[in-house]
Structure 1
Amino acid sequence: MEDTDPELYREAFRSADIPMLIADTNFAFRDINDAGLDFLGYEFDDIIGESVGLIAADEEVYYEIVEQMISGETWSGEFMARRKDQQVVYGQGFATPMVVSGDVEGILAFFVDTTKQRHYENASEVLNRLLRHDLRNELNVIYGYTQQVASRLDDEKALEELELVQEKVLDIVHKSERARDLREHLERSHDVSNHPVKLDVVLNNKIVDTMIEFPDAEFEFGPFPQVEVIADDLLGEAIECVLENAVTHNDKETPQVEISVKRDGGHVIVRIADNGPGVPEEQRDLIFGREEYDQLHHGTGISLFFADNVISSYNGTIWVEDNDDEGAVFCIRLQEPTAID
C-alpha cells in the first residue's frame, strides 16, 4: 500500500461521517473534517490554528490526553466537548500520535457523539428516582389519612378524609403509569437517530389525542405550516406532555389552550398558550426539573422534565413566557433540516 495516492487518505478523512481532527505537536488544530465542524459548530477558518483545548469541556480529561500523546501512547475514553455556542456535547473519543520515520508529527483524534444517549440515560435514571420519591411521600400521606379515619369512624369528616385518600391513590396510579410510559418511550428511542419529522402531522395527532382525553377543555388552532423539524419518535410525546400540562394545571372552569407555529430563520417555534394561573419567573427552571434533584418534587412533575430532556436532545429549547391576557405560553424551538445542512 506504499504507493497509494495520499489524496485517497485525505478524502477518506474529509468524508468520514464521524468527527475527526488533526493537531500538531503543540496541540493546535491543523485540520478538521466536515463532520467535526458540524459537531462543534465552527467554520473551518475559525478553528484552524486554535488550541485543541478550546473545545475541551473537562480540563482533567484534556490534560490526560495531552500526557498520553506526549508519551507516544494512544488514548480512548469519554470526552466532553464545548461547541462554539458553549453547549456541552458528549462523545466517546480516541486519540493517537501520528508517527513518521520514528518522530511524532501530529495527533489524530476522532469521537462518536453520545450526547443524545447521555440525555436519555440521565432522564431515565431521574424518572425512576423521582417516581420512587413521590410514591414514598404520597404513600406516607395516605397512611396518615387512613389512621385518622380509623380513629373516628363516627366523625362526619371521616368521609371527607376518605375521599382525600382516594384522590391520592388515583394520583399515585396516574404518576406510576405516566412514568412507566415515558420510560418505555425513552428506552425504545434510545438508539433512534434524529431525523426530519413532519411537525404539522405530529401536532395534529397529539392535539386530537389531548382533546379526547380532556373533553371539557377548549383547543384553538388553525392549519399548521407543512414544515419538517429535526427530531425523533419522541417529539409527539414531548408535545403531548406540554399540552396536558396546559390543562391539568389550569385553574379555570374551562381550560383554554391555543396552539400556533411560526418559522424563524432556520428554526420553528411552537407556542402553546393557556389561560391558567401562569408561571412565576422564579419557578420557570424549577418546573422543568432543572434544579438539583432534591428540589425536583416541588416542581410540576415528570411530564415537563421529560419534555425538556427530549427537546434538548434535538438541540432545541423549551421555555415559558407570560401570556398577554392571562396564563402562560410554553415555547418550543426546533431546528429545520435546512438549518444544519
Structure 2
Amino acid sequence: MEDTDPELYREAFRSTDIPMLIADTNFAFRDINDAGLDFLGYDYDEIIGESVGLIAGDEEVYYEIIEHMLAGESWSGEFVVRRTDDRVVYGHGFATPIVVEGEVQGFLAFFLDTTKQQQYENVSEVLSRLLRHDLRNELNVIYGYTQQVASRIDDEEALAELQLVQDKVLDIVHKSERARDLRDLLERSHDRSNRPVRLDTVLQKRTVDATIDYPDAEFTFENFPEVEVVADDLLGEAIECLLENAVTHNDKETPVVDISVERANGSVYIRVADNGPGVPEAQRDLIFGREEYDQLHHGTGISLFFADNVISSYDGDLWVEDDDDEGAVFCIRLEEQATDE
C-alpha cells in the first residue's frame, strides 16, 4: 500500500482511543494524540518539545526504555506514568523505533491504563492481611473464654460464656466466607472496565436480600429513580456491605435502616441511614481502613474497607456523617452516566 495517503495514518494516530505519542531522537515529545492528552492531563502546546521523562513515574523503567530505543529494539512491559496533577497511573506500554529508509527518525509509544487492576490486586493483598489479623484476635478471645469455662465448669454462667464462644466461632466463619467471596469477586473483576449500571435495579435487589437476611431489622425506602451510574459488577456487593454494617453494628432492639437516592450536578448520592450508636468523628477514617493508629487497631472489619475501595475505583466517594436524629449516615457519591441527547 505504498500509494496510501499519509493523512490516513495521521488521522488513525490522532483518533485512536489508546494514548499514543511520538518522540524525536532526543526523546522529546514530537506529537501526541487526543487520548494521550486526556490521559496525561496536558494541553498540546504544553507538552510538545518537552522531555518524555516529564511523565516518567519510574526512572529505572524509563531508562530501560531508552536503552532499548538506542539499541534499535522494541520494548514492552509495565510502566508508571505521572500525570500533570501528579497522580500516578500504572499501565502496560509498548515502544518502538520509527525507521525511515534505514534511519531512526523517532520513537512511537502507546500505553494502556491498568490502575484499576493494580488497585484491586493491592486491595486483595490487604484483605488477606486483615483476615489473618482478625482471625488471630478472634481465636485469642475464644481461647480466653474456654479457659474461663474450664476453670468453673459447674458454674451456670459457663453456659452463657460458652454461647459467647459459639458466637465468636460463627463470626470467624462469616468473616472467612466474606473474605473468600470478596477475593473471588476481585479476581474476576479486576480486568473489567467501568460501565453504565442501573442503580435502581441494584438497590432494589440488595434491599430485598437484606430484608431476608436480617428479618429483625426494618428497612425503609421510597421508589428509587431510574438512573445509570458509572460502576461495575461489584457495586451491589459494596452496597450490601453498607446495609450489613447498618444492622450488625446497631445497638437497638430493632435496627432501622433508611435508603435514599438523590441526583445533583452529574452525580448520584446514595444515603444509608441507621438508628445505631453513630460513628465518632475521630474514627471515620479508621472504620474504612484508610489509616491505623497501631498494629492492634484497625477498622471495624473487611466489609467497609472493601466498599470504600470499590467506590473509589469508580472515581466516587464514600463517607460517614451524623444523622439529624441519631445514628450514622453512610453516603456514596457516584458519577451519573451521561445519556446521548
Into which bin does the TM-score normalised by the smaller protein fall?
0.7 to 0.9
Deviation track 1:132-174 (CA, whole Å, cap 9, x = no partner) reads 2322221232122212212221223322321221111111111
Aligned residue number for residue 226 of structure 2: 226
Report the alpha carbon displacement of residue 16 of structure 1 after superposing the two structures with TM.
Answer: 2.6
1:337–1:25 Cα change, 3 Å: farther
Matched ranges for 1:189-268 at <5 A = 189-268=189-268
Distance 2:308 2:289 in 1: 8
> Which structure 1 segments of 5+ residues have no match?
none
TM-score (norm 2): 0.87
Aligned residue number for residue 298 of structure 2: 298
Report the alpha carbon displacement of residue 295 of structure 1 after superposing the two structures with TM.
Answer: 4.3
SS of corresponding position for 1:98: strand
SS of corresponding position for 2:193: coil
Moved more, 189-198 or 15-24: 15-24
* Paired AA for residue 108 in structure 2: L
Distance 2:304 2:65 in 1: 38
Aligned residue number for residue 89 of structure 2: 89
Distance 1:296 1:103 in 2: 62
Distance 2:222 2:85 in 1: 34
Matched ranges for 1:269-284 at <5 A = 269-284=269-284
* Paired AA for residue 115 in structure 1: T
Distance 1:17 1:35 in 2: 5
* Paired AA for residue 256 in structure 1: V
1:113–1:43 Cα change, 3 Å: same
Report the alpha carbon displacement of residue 63 of structure 1 after superposing the two structures with TM.
Answer: 4.5
1:266–1:282 Cα change, 3 Å: same
Distance 2:216 2:12 in 1: 59
Aligned residue number for residue 118 of structure 1: 118
Aligned residue number for residue 32 of structure 1: 32
Verify the 8 A CA contact 2:289 2:298 in the aligned structure 1. no
Verify the 8 A CA contact 2:99 2:105 in the aligned structure 1. yes
Aligned residue number for residue 167 of structure 1: 167
Aligned residue number for residue 20 of structure 2: 20
Report the alpha carbon displacement of residue 125 of structure 1 after superposing the two structures with TM.
Answer: 2.2
* Paired AA for residue 14 in structure 2: R
Deviation track 1:109-130 (CA, whole Å, cap 9, x = no partner) reads 2112212211222222222232
* Paired AA for residue 318 in structure 1: L
* RMSD (Å), alpha carbons: 2.9
1:267–1:134 Cα change, 3 Å: same
Aligned residue number for residue 289 of structure 1: 289
> Which structure 2 segments of 5+ residues have no match?
none
Verify the 8 A CA contact 2:15 2:34 in the aligned structure 1. yes
Verify the 8 A CA contact 1:90 1:113 in the aligned structure 2. yes
Distance 1:270 1:47 in 2: 40
Report the alpha carbon displacement of residue 292 of structure 1 after superposing the two structures with TM.
Answer: 6.1
Aligned residue number for residue 147 of structure 1: 147
1:316–1:45 Cα change, 3 Å: farther
Verify the 8 A CA contact 1:134 1:297 in the aligned structure 2. no
Report the alpha carbon displacement of residue 302 of structure 1 after superposing the two structures with TM.
Answer: 0.6
Verify the 8 A CA contact 2:286 2:292 in the aligned structure 1. no
Report the alpha carbon displacement of residue 198 of structure 1 after superposing the two structures with TM.
Answer: 0.6
Report the alpha carbon displacement of residue 240 of structure 1 after superposing the two structures with TM.
Answer: 0.9
Deviation track 1:45-102 (CA, whole Å, cap 9, x = no partner) reads 5554555444333344334444554565543322222345544321012223334455
1:24–1:281 Cα change, 3 Å: farther
SS of corresponding position for 2:315: coil
Distance 1:171 1:15 in 2: 54
Report the alpha carbon displacement of residue 331 of structure 1 after superposing the two structures with TM.
Answer: 1.9
* Paired AA for residue 225 in structure 1: P
Moved more, 249-258 or 44-53: 44-53
| Residues matched between the structures, number | 341
Verify the 8 A CA contact 1:68 1:74 in the aligned structure 2. yes
Moved more, 118-127 or 83-92: 83-92
Aligned residue number for residue 3 of structure 1: 3
Distance 2:216 2:50 in 1: 59
1:258–1:63 Cα change, 3 Å: farther
Distance 2:47 2:221 in 1: 45
1:76 equivalenced with 2:76 (yes/no): yes
Verify the 8 A CA contact 1:286 1:296 in the aligned structure 2. no
Moved more, 180-189 or 97-106: 97-106
Distance 1:27 1:248 in 2: 57
Moved more, 67-76 or 217-226: 67-76
Report the alpha carbon displacement of residue 36 of structure 1 after superposing the two structures with TM.
Answer: 2.6
* Paired AA for residue 277 in structure 1: P
* Paired AA for residue 184 in structure 2: E
TM-score (norm 1): 0.87
SS of corresponding position for 1:308: helix
Deviation track 1:17-67 (CA, whole Å, cap 9, x = no partner) reads 322122344544343323334433455455545554443333443344445
Moved more, 282-291 or 203-212: 282-291
